[in-house]
Amino acid sequence: MSIALSAVDISRALTRISHEILERNSGSESIVLMGIPTRGAFLSQRLSIMIESIEKSPVSVGTLDITLHRDDLRLHPIRALVPTLVPKGGIEGKNVILVDDVLFSGRTIRAALDALGEMGRPKSVQLAVLVDRGHRQLPIRADYVGKNLPTSRGEIVKVRLGEIDGADEVLLEPEGNQ
Amino acid sequence: MTKYLVERATLTDGSQSNILISEGVIKWVGHSVLPVEVQDAIRVDVNGAIALPGLVDLHTHLREPGREDSETVLSGSRSAAKGGFTAVSAMANTFPVADTAGVVEQVYRLGQLAGFVDVFPIGAVTQGLAGKALAELGAMADSEARVRVFSDDGNCVFDPMVMRRALEYVKKFGGVIAQHAQDPVLTVDSQMNEGIISSRLGLKGWPSVAEEAIIARDVLLADHVGSRLHICHVTTAGGVEIIRWAKSRGIQVSAEVTPHHLLLTDDYARNFDPVFKVNPPLRTQEDVMALREGLADGTIDIVATDHAPHPSESKECEWQAAAFGMIGLETALSIVQLTMVESGLISWSHVADRMSLAPAKIGRYSDHGQPILPGSTANLTFVDSGGSWKVDRDLMLSRSRNTPFHGMELPGQVVATFYRGEPTVLNGALVRGTRVS
Amino acid sequence: MRHLLSASDLTYSEALKILDTAAQMARVSEGPVKKLPTLRGRTIVNLFFEDSTRTRISFEAAAKRLSADVINFSAKGSSVSKGESLKDTAQTLQAMGADAIIIRHDSSGAPQRLADSGWTSSVVINAGDGTHEHPTQALLDAFTIRKHLKVGVGDLSGLTIAIVGDILHSRVARSNVTLLSLLGAQVILVAPPTLLPLGVESWPAQISFELDSVLPYVDAVMMLRVQQERMNDFFFPTAREYSHYFGLNADRLALLKPSAIIMHPGPMNRGLEITAACADSARSVIVEQVANGVSVRMAVLYLLVAGAPDENGESLA
Ligand SMILES: [Zn+2]
């Protein structure tokens, strides 16, 4: 097990992503941050706070539960649904930024795009992730990446966040551990 | 004719004896000195098993003629012998109904031909069991089958005038009317005991009063005309109470209880498995305890199986669509041991009375229910009361599998049965090709 | 829990989980696109041995919103004998690869027979069996009550709910008594004594023979369908006398608390157990019950059919 990102690294990465989002979308007015539960939702909260402190104006933020859109449901016991929270004003015509902790196969993001499609028609959809570990199985790429982390397929990337895990860090665990 | 010496049998008084059987009768019962005659006898060591007079069932559905897919006289006889019986009483609800001398003689002969037990036909009370017109009771009584017990079982003789006349008429030849006590109007479409469980399950209830009202009416009728009445399969505490009262008044009433009603309650309906669907229905624990008490104090005279075979398709379905009934010949003695002997309510000599002496007396089966003494007909059952066995519906000798006791571990194994001096069961297994002249 | 056969199969937390999931499903139903891919490739059979267009349509809509393939199998009036047809039909559906069987049957316990018998390995969902249970109806009733009287969250504690009418023959009443009391509500059964089952005192509910004295205290009143034919079996003298004592009418509406709601599982006998004015009044949530039925059934299908069973063979735990 090794530490891929420390708390400081995470904070720095999120700050950078905040600036990149603002730069690309010419400010915060048109954007809606949609975090994918569980950890993506916390990350989107953090990003919204950072962006608000830079811009001095509120940012729309919500959560997007993608469970009902997963294509691997039948492989696992069923999980409880998390509420999808769409911010006031909706996503129609907005630049929606999906926020997740790790980008791996891309299947979660595909499900998220499907889920979004049900809520309206955004102007654009962008993707922010804390870690991109490679091994995509779908033609999906992230617009904002905290860190590109080369991994082997069997390795485990573990994102821990203070809100639920007690500390901020990203760990890389070898295959078969746990 | 072969001689048998049954060694190391335990009599119901607890003493151990050897029993010599020859020419269909018990020749000698003793322990110390062996007479010379035993030298050419086949020795059967029952290793301490309890000796009972051959069991007599007063309520058996053998299904022949008409429903040979579920049971025949032969298969039912084999099942009975395995369960320790030497006589059974074939109920009249066959196709055609046993309401003529011709049908009862046919069933009687089939029983003699099978040769495992005496099959005594029960005649129908009314033509076609329809409850309207009396069947030819006298002709059945005078037939080769010598019918003394009459019943429309499955149906209640509901019309009070028909019941009165039947009770009166059988006095001519010492007969008895065996009533299936069920008020049909109070039990239209009824599925199970009416109570807390039926209410929750949404199954139409079968009130106790539907049984008790008929018992009450009929003991009064029997009293009025001075005739013999037998109440089939009593299931309720109230029914026991009424019979106790009637007996205290000197009314000639006898009553039976089935093994399943001594053990099972309506709680078993909870999973909707129709193997527990039976007529009359399984009642409550309170009723079960009252029935045990009634059997112990003699209010209920006998245990009768109400062995009711059904093909699997009649039970592999929804509860409402399923047939009523359970098989019971091969489990009866074990259930009585479990519920009555092991609970300390009765002794083995009571078992002999309730399952052999008393039913033989009610049915006037003179060769059965005799004491185990020299001169008695050699109808004998030996049960290893210390043994136990697991009920497996696939191993039943009955042609049907509808036992509610499947999978249960029961005490008491029949190790040997002698029918008219010949073994039908030895070492717990049926003796093949048994024929008795 | 692997099957939904009876309201008593549910624990408190499972019941709440279904209601919470239904709330999420309701949101989907309110959105512009009403279809989710959740059960794509799954086969769900509506096996109806008894006519019930409204229940069948509700389950069908729920399954289709989750993208399941739906097969409607009406076994009513089939030429095979009743008993054979359940087993034979179950084996046929098994061979067709049904993931779930939604069964409606006029025999109490038929869904449990299907689940226990080994004739099929499908998930079995009871859509109403005889006079036994109708668990999804109770769930949708609880969902509707919670939405109106508990702002759509938590359980039903503190609420008093009257169920009025033919309790004896009502599967809806049986499931509701179990579920509503499980969720903390106080249930009062109101009926003439002839239409209450023997042993009803053992149910987790209070009993009353008098509707007028109960109405001022209830938060919801659920009127049950009463069949006119019942009077032929001496359950009550005449339809008029029944309505007089147990029907919901304008006078009785006035006895209710301002916040109380009126429910009916349908189909209604307008004029017998409920007047048209009551059924159509602002307090009536009868039409909404239908919409909530779809959300609740989506939740049940999702929780029981979408995932793989856990190591104990349970789908909803
Ligand atoms: Zn009977």
Domains located in chain C, CATH noted: 7-134+290-306 (3.40.50.1370), 136-289 (3.40.50.1370)
Rounded to whole angstroms, the Cα distance separating C208 from B393 reads 48
pLDDT of residue C79: 45
What was the pLDDT predicted at C169? 95
Mutate to test the interface with B, among C198, C202, C230 (most CBs of B within 10 A): C198
Q: Which residue of A has its CA nearest to C314?
A: A77
CB of A94 within 8 Å of any CB in chain C? no
| Binary contact (C36, A76; C-beta < 8 A) | no
Tell me whether residue B69 is one of the annotated catalytic residues. no
Any chain C CB within 8 A of the CB of B241?
Answer: no
**C104 has which bridge partners?**
C48
Substitution target in C82, C86, C108, C137 with the highest count of B β-carbons within 10 Å is C108
A59-73, A102-116, C76-90, C281-295: least confident range = C76-90
Surface of C (245-304) touching A: CB under 8 A: 302-303
- Rounded distance from Cα C80 to ligand 1 centre (Å): 29
Pairing, β B55-56 against β B85-90: parallel
B319 and C108 in contact by Cβ < 8 A? yes
CA C132/CA C5 separation, integer angstroms: 10
Across residues B349-356, what is the average pLDDT? 98
Give yes or no for residue B436 having a pLDDT over 60. Answer: no
Supply the CATH number for residue A18's domain: 3.40.50.2020
Interface touch A78/C306, C-beta < 8 Å: yes
Q: Is the per-residue pLDDT at B432 higher than 90?
A: no
CA dihedral of residues C195, C199, C201, C202 (deg, nearest 10):
-130
Which of C44, C47, C24 is CA-nearest to residue C36? C24
CB contact under 8 A, A119 and C32: yes
Residues in chain C within 8 Å Cβ distance of B318? 82-83, 86, 105, 107, 109-110, 113
Q: Would you say C161 and C136 are in contact if contact means Cβ atoms under 8 Å apart? A: no
The minimal CB distance from B201 to the residues C81, C109, C116 is found for: C109
- Asked if A65 lies within 8 A of C24 by C-beta distance, the reply is yes
Pairwise pLDDT comparison (A177 vs C132), residue with the higher score: C132
**Contact call for C82 and B317, based on CB within 8 A:** yes
Q: Is the pLDDT of residue B437 over 50?
A: no
Assigned token pair, B384: 């290893």
φ and ψ of C125, to 5 deg: -120, 125
* Chain C interface test: which of B192, B193, B196, B200 (most C C-beta within 10 Å): B200
CA angle C203, C206, C209 (to 5 degrees): 115
User: Using CB atoms and an 8 Å cut-off, which of residues 2-21 of chain C contact chain A?
Assistant: 17, 20-21
Q: Do B316 and C87 touch (CB under 8 A)?
A: yes
Question: Which strand (E) or helix (H) includes residue C30?
Answer: helix C12-30
Average pLDDT score, chain B: 96
CB contact under 8 A, C38 and A68: yes
Contact call for B321 and C113, based on CB within 8 A: no
Which pLDDT score, from 0 to 100, does residue C81 have? Answer: 47
Chain A contact partners (≥3 CB pairs within 8 A) = C
Q: Which of B60, B140, B64 is nearest to B102 (CA)?
A: B140
* Separation of first and last alpha carbons in chain C: 6
Q: Which domain holds residue A95?
A: 2-72+81-173
- For chain C, give percent helix, strand, coil, nearest 5: 45, 15, 40
Cβ–Cβ of C308/A74 closer than 8 Å? yes
Report pLDDT digits (tens) over B87-122. 999 999 999 999 999 999 999 999 999 999 999 999
Mean pLDDT value of segment B124-140 = 97
Instruction: For chain C, state the CA radius of gyration.
Output: 19
Compare CB distances from C109 to B194, B205, B272 and report the shortest one's residue. Answer: B272
| B312 contact C CB<8A | no
pLDDT digits (tens, 9 = 90+) for B215-261: 999 999 999 999 999 999 999 999 999 999 999 999 999 999 999 99
Give A171's pLDDT tier (boundaries 50, 70, 90).
very high
Q: From CA C178, how far away is CA B137, in angstroms rounded?
A: 55
Residue of C nearest to B313 (CA): C84
* C interface with B, Cβ–Cβ below 8 Å: 81-84, 86-87, 105, 107-110, 112-113, 116-117, 129-133, 171, 174, 197-200, 202-203
Q: How far apart are CA A105 and CA C282, in angstroms?
A: 52
Show the DSSP H helices in B307-418 as ranges: 332-336, 348-352, 358-363
Per-residue model confidence (pLDDT) at position C29: 77
Quick check: A78 and C303 CB within 8 A?
yes
Omega before residue C267 within 30° of 0, cis: yes
Q: Tell me the shortest Cα–Cα distance from C66 to chain A, in angstroms.
A: 8
Which of chain B's residues have a Cβ under 8 Å away from the Cβ of C194?
A: none
- The pair of structure tokens assigned to B335 is 């259930």
Predicted local distance difference test score (pLDDT) of residue A80: 80
Q: Is residue A54 part of a domain?
A: yes
**Number of domain units in chain A:** 1
pLDDT at C78: 54
Q: Decide if C116 and B271 are in contact by the 8 Å CB cutoff.
A: yes
Q: Which residues of B touch C130 (CB under 8 A)?
A: 202-203, 320
ipTM of the complex, rounded to two decimals: 0.93
Order of all β-strands in the sheet with A169-173: A2-5, A169-173, A156-160
Residue C242 is predicted with a pLDDT of 94
Neighbours of A175 (CB within 10 A): 11
Q: Which CATH superfamily is domain B4-50+376-435 in?
A: Urease, subunit C, domain 1 (2.30.40.10)
Query: Residue A82: what pLDDT?
Result: 85
Nearest CB partner across the interface for B319, out of C109, C171, C203: C109
Count CB atoms within 10 A of the CB of residue A113: 18
Question: Cα separation of C292 and C263, whole Å?
Answer: 12
Taking 70 as the pLDDT cut, the residues of chain C under it are 76-84, 317
Provide the β-strand partners of residue B381: B52, B417
Name the closest residue on chain C to residue A84, using Cα atoms: C24
| Interatomic CA distance for residues B414 and B72, integer angstroms | 22
A178 domain residue, yes or no: no
8 Å CB contact of C83 and B200: no
Residue C198 is nearest to which of B199, B202, B272, comparing CB atoms? Answer: B199
**Confidence tier at A81 by pLDDT (50, 70, 90):** confident
Higher-confidence position of B338 and C91: B338
Q: Is B214 helix (H, G, I), strand (E, B) or coil?
A: helix
With 0-12 / 13-18 / 19 or more C-beta atoms within 10 angstroms meaning exposed / middle / buried, residue B75 is buried
Q: Do B318 and C105 touch (CB under 8 A)?
A: yes
B393: tokens are 């519906």
Q: What is the largest CA-CA distance in chain A?
A: 47
- Neighboring chain A residues of C37 at a CB cutoff of 8 Å: 68-69, 71, 114
CB B129 within 8 A of CB B92: yes
> For B318, which of C107, C131, C171 is closest by C-beta distance?
C107
Do chains A and C have 3 or more beta-carbon pairs under 8 angstroms? yes
* Residue C262 DSSP code: E
Q: For residue A118, which residues of chain C lie inside 8 Å, CB to CB?
A: 28, 31-33, 35-36
Task: Name the catalytic one among B301, B306, B353, B384.
Answer: B306
Q: At C302, list the tokens.
A: 């999702």
| pLDDT higher than threshold 60 for residue A25 | yes
By C-alpha distance, the chain C residue nearest A75 is C308
Q: When comparing pLDDT for C232 and B312, which is higher?
A: B312
CATH of range B53-363; options 3.20.20.140, 3.40.50.1010, 1.10.3720.10, 3.50.50.60: 3.20.20.140
Chains A and B touch (3+ CB pairs under 8 A): no
Ranges for all domains in chain B classified under CATH 2.30.40.10: 4-50+376-435
Work out the minimum CA distance from C301 to partner chain A, whole angstroms.
11
Distance A167 CA to ligand 1 centre (A): 75
Neighbouring chains of B at 3+ CB pairs under 8 Å are C
| B16 phi-psi bin (left φ>0, alpha ψ -120 to 50, beta other) | beta
Between the alpha carbon of residue A56 and those of residues A31, A52, B402, C191, C218, the distances in Å are 15, 5, 80, 65, 51
What CA–CA distance (Å, rounded) separates A119 from A62?
12
**Ligand 1 center to B282 CA (angstroms):** 13
pLDDT of residue B305: 98
Alpha carbon of A26: minimum distance to chain C alpha carbons (Å):
30
What is the Cα gyration radius of chain B?
Answer: 21
Are C73 and C100 within 8 A, CB to CB?
no
